């Protein structure tokens, strides 16, 4: 991947704090518990932890989730809510994943519930 390609990908990647949390800050290596809702560009919801009734847990920076989450959730604080726009290169790329078509930009609202 060229530097120009990396730069173009990072220009498409967006993160915005909707609510700034007051709790512990998420760092690489921390185990996070988050609630999230994910949609496609047309607004179609493809998954939501709220629908499942409990947050998911994963280790930040360990590759347990898509790269856009590992990048986008660094520095969020417990109680914070962050919107992420993740280009395909930082999500599932040219492969599909369940209801997510190949080459999809993903939109997430992620709420940090706990840092362990």
Mean pLDDT of the chain: 96
Q: Which helix (H) or strand (E) holds 61?
A: none
Average the pLDDT over 78-107 and give the result. 97
Average the pLDDT over 5-26 and give the result. 93
| Residue of 30, 70, 100, 108 marked active site | 108
Residue 105's pLDDT is what? 98
Whether the CB-CB separation of 105 and 89 falls below 8 Å is answered with no
Q: Would you call 17 a catalytic residue per the annotation?
A: no
Neighbouring residues of 29: CB distance < 8 A, sequence distance ≥ 6: 59, 60, 61, 62
Average the pLDDT over 7-11 and give the result. 85
Residue 31's pLDDT is what? 98
Number of domains in the chain: 1
CATH number at residue 72: 3.10.50.40
| Residue of 13, 30, 66, 86 marked active site | 66
pTM: 0.94
Question: Which domain, by its residues, includes 55?
Answer: 3-115
Q: Would you call 107 a catalytic residue per the annotation?
A: no
């Amino acid at each position: 991947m060229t530097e120009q390609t990396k730069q173009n990908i990072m220009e498409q990647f967006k993160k915005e704090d909707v609510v700034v949390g007051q709790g512990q800050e998420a760092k690489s290596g921390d185990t996070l518990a988050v609630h999230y809702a994910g949609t496609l560009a047309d607004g179609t919801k493809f998954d939501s932890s709220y629908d499942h009734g409990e947050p998911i847990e994963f280790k930040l920076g360990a590759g347990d989730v898509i790269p856009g989450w590992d990048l986008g959730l660094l520095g969020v604080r417990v109680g914070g809510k962050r919107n992420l726009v993740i280009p395909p290169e930082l999500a599932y790329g040219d492969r599909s994943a369940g209801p997510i078509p190949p080459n999809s930009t993903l939109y997430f609202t992620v709420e940090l519930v706990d840092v362990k």
